[in-house]
Amino acid sequence: MSVLHVSRVRASYRRILLLHRVLPPDLKDLGDQYVKDEFRSHKTTGSKESERFLQEWEAYAAVLRQQAHENRQNPTEKACFGISLPEEKHNDFRDEQTGQLQELMQEATKPNRQFNITESRKPKF
């Protein structure tokens, strides 16, 4: 891996953790741990997989940044975070990844959360 790529990965990692500061505490904790685990587990991937991994996390950061902005604009409404995954993305996942996403969704949608996970809101880039 090139020094430039490593620098880009570290910058994305830091940016995501900073963006997580706008999340409610329980979602922030869940997200921070997930991000740390995912970035740690992808340290030794090949360049093609590593590039795709980074692109997906950068897209996540863009969506989160937009949703944080929207939530600041409407402070009287309950904060909403999340988007639905398009069907074509589901087809790209291995069984292990699908199970991991299901576990994450179950954890994130437990009752009495301070946030909503929406399925209909689309990111505005």
106 falls within a domain: yes
pLDDT of 119: 47
pLDDT tens-digit profile of 51-67?
999 999 999 999 999 99
Does residue 82 sit within a domain? yes
| Domains of the chain: total | 1
Report how far residue 21's alpha carbon sits from residue 71's, in angstroms, rounded to the nearest whole number: 13
Domain presence at residue 123: no
Q: Are 54 and 66 in contact (CB under 8 A)?
A: no
d(CA 51, CA 70): 29
Query: Which residue type occupies 34?
Result: Y
Q: Is the pLDDT score of 111 beyond 90?
A: no
Give the domain range for residue 56. 3-117
User: Taking 50 as the threshold, does the pLDDT of residue 99 lie above it?
Assistant: yes
Q: Work out the pLDDT band at 26, boundaries 50, 70, 90.
A: confident
Q: What is the mean pLDDT of residues 67-80?
A: 88
Q: Is residue 124 part of a domain?
A: no
